[in-house]
Amino acid sequence: MEINEFSMDFFSLAGKKAIVTGGNTGLGQAFSLALAKAGADVFVPSVMDDDGTTGPLLAATGRRYEYLKADITAPGAAAKVIATCVERFGAVDILVNSAGICPMAEVLDFGRPQWDATVAVNLTAAFELSYEAAQKMIPQKSGKIINICSLFSFLGGRWSSAYAATKHGLAGFTKAYCDELAMHNIQVNGIAPGYYATEITRKTRSNPETNQRVLDHIPAERWGEPVDLMGALVYLASRASNYVNGHLLVVDGGYLVR
């Protein structure tokens, strides 16, 4: 391909069919809206009910939005999610494994129930959904799988050992699936968000001491906003990133360099 063939259309997702797990709340909602604004139809499986804001946001883009109440950790759930998306949209071109949980407790209070629940949502469900999506993407010789990792794919985490372990695992899984699926023109990448101003971090941000501790570690001197991740997602979901594979794109305001 010659360089003069490049255009901003490389970033367009017009006609693409995307799945965003947990895509009706928090950062997942921003991911869903980003894909829709870029032209994709968006299918959202989530254990959380749509609070009534996601549908109107996506409808305003003119793209189609479908919601499925689903526990992605349940037996057979991944196959059902992929099959339902294909039934409603006709295909699956993009899978964003965004759903995640982060129970927190000190070491002596963090046992198997918290561990097992975190592994089931953050790692096993991402594997099962990616496996099922690959069954559709390989025959069509195209696809994008984007795993939402974390700074804790690189760091340890006090009071969140299972979260750090699963995010390290998700980073490794991203690289492993890239190595196998690249030959089929399927790109598998991850996004590692830093500290973002969402409901999950409200307690940390509301405490002046812990809030300042985080800010002191960020060269940008502010918490990230969901909009800061939207461009990164569109890039990795688009044709513009077709030679980017097995990469973890850190979007953290510079946190890791300080």
Max intra-chain CA distance, the chain: 60
CATH architecture of the domain formed by 8-251 = 3-Layer(aba) Sandwich (3.40)
3-state secondary structure of 29: helix
Cα 188 from Cα 143, distance rounded (Å): 8
Question: Is 255 an active-site residue?
Answer: no
| Ordered DSSP codes for 104-153 | ---GGG--HHHHHHHHIIIIIHHHHHHHHHHHHHHHHT-EEEEEE--GGG
Asked if 204 contacts 211 with a C-beta cutoff of 8 angstroms, the reply is yes
Cα 110 from Cα 103, distance rounded (Å): 9
Residue 132: per-residue pLDDT: 98
Active-site entry in 65, 163, 196, 235: 163
Cα 44 from Cα 131, distance rounded (Å): 18
Cα 19 from Cα 14, distance rounded (Å): 15
Tokens matching residue 210: 């812990």
From first to last of the 258 residues of the chain, give the pLDDT tens digit: 889 999 999 999 999 999 999 999 999 999 999 999 999 999 999 998 888 899 999 999 999 999 999 999 999 999 999 999 999 999 999 999 999 998 877 888 889 999 999 999 999 999 999 999 999 999 999 999 999 999 999 998 788 899 999 999 999 999 999 999 999 999 999 999 999 999 888 989 999 999 999 999 999 999 999 999 999 999 999 999 999 999 999 999 999 999
pTM for the whole structure:
0.96
Domain spans in the chain, listed from the N-terminal domain onward: 8-251
Residue 121: per-residue pLDDT: 97
Cα 11 from Cα 13, distance rounded (Å): 7
3-state helix, strand, coil in the chain (%, to 5): 50, 15, 35
